[in-house]
């Protein structure tokens, strides 16, 4: 498959990209920081299957231009994995409007932009798969995560609606809803205190790879995955 992973410079996105390259897929990776795209450990071994595209997902033009470049490079975009995300761990009262806007722009609008950019290619070929990496904040209340939870709840709503709209167009739409995962998104103190309980980005990468091996006539609509010991 030809797969585009956003937010692939680090964390879950990077782990997904590396796992999919090892599985034999062609993978386009995007992130705001070009240097982070050069840090994948599998670049040398899979250079012929990897395409790097710096993208700020809060810009529809950049996302749309990237989709065109990836389509031209690979000949198709079979799978889009919307993973790019940012957060702030603050009470709503202390969250500035600028901080709120950035989180909505990246986490929610960025997903919408990605879907809008690839859907014309997928509907034209009557096949494709959109996988949105969301968060358990859509199902459980965590204080100090108001802006982040709002953005992810919006993504879940978009995902659910799109799934129904494209069922008859040959396109699959899946939500992956992970719990606490050991990434730089978490403050260092939280990682130090709870790190042993957290899932690892590589765990999510393996789950995505397994999902893509599921039968063609089956659509896994929503996958929730948490640490074995539960939420933090």
Residues annotated catalytic, as ranges:
148
Q: What gap in Å lies between CA 79 and CA 171, rounded to an integer?
A: 10
User: Which of 36, 42, 39, 12 has its CA nearest to residue 27?
Assistant: 42
Phi, psi of 23 (to 5 degrees): -80, -5
11: left (phi over 0), alpha (psi -120 to 50) or beta: left
**CB 136 within 8 Å of CB 104:** no
Structure tokens at 170: 């040959």
**CB 2 within 8 Å of CB 74:** yes
Beta bridge partners of 132: 82, 175
Element (H, E) at 177: strand 171-178
CA dist 96 → 103, 114, 145, 216 (Å): 11, 26, 13, 45
């Amino acid at each position: 498959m030809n797969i585009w992973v956003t937010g692939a410079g680090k964390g879950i996105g990077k782990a997904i990209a590396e796992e999919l390259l090892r599985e034999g897929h062609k993978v386009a990776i995007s992130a705001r920081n070009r240097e982070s795209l050069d840090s994948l450990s599998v670049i040398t071994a899979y250079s012929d299957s990897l395409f790097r595209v710096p993208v700020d997902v809060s810009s529809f033009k950049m996302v749309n231009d990237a989709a065109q470049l990836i389509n031209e490079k690979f000949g198709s975009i079979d799978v889009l994995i919307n993973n790019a995300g940012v957060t702030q761990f603050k009470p709503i009262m202390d969250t500035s409007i600028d901080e709120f806007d950035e989180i909505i722009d990246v986490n929610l609008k960025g997903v919408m932009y990605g879907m809008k950019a690839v859907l014309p290619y997928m509907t034209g070929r009557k096949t494709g798969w959109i996988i949105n990496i969301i968060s358990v904040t859509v199902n459980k209340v965590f204080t100090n995560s108001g802006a982040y939870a709002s953005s992810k709840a919006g993504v879940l709503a978009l995902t659910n609606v799109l799934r129904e709209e494209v069922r008859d167009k040959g396109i699959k739409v899946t939500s992956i809803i992970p719990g606490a995962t050991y990434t730089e998104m978490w403050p260092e103190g939280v990682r130090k205190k709870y790190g042993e309980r957290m899932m690892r980005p590589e765990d999510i990468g393996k789950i995505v790879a397994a999902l893509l091996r599921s039968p063609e006539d089956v659509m896994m609509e929503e996958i929730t995955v948490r640490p074995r010991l539960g939420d933090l």
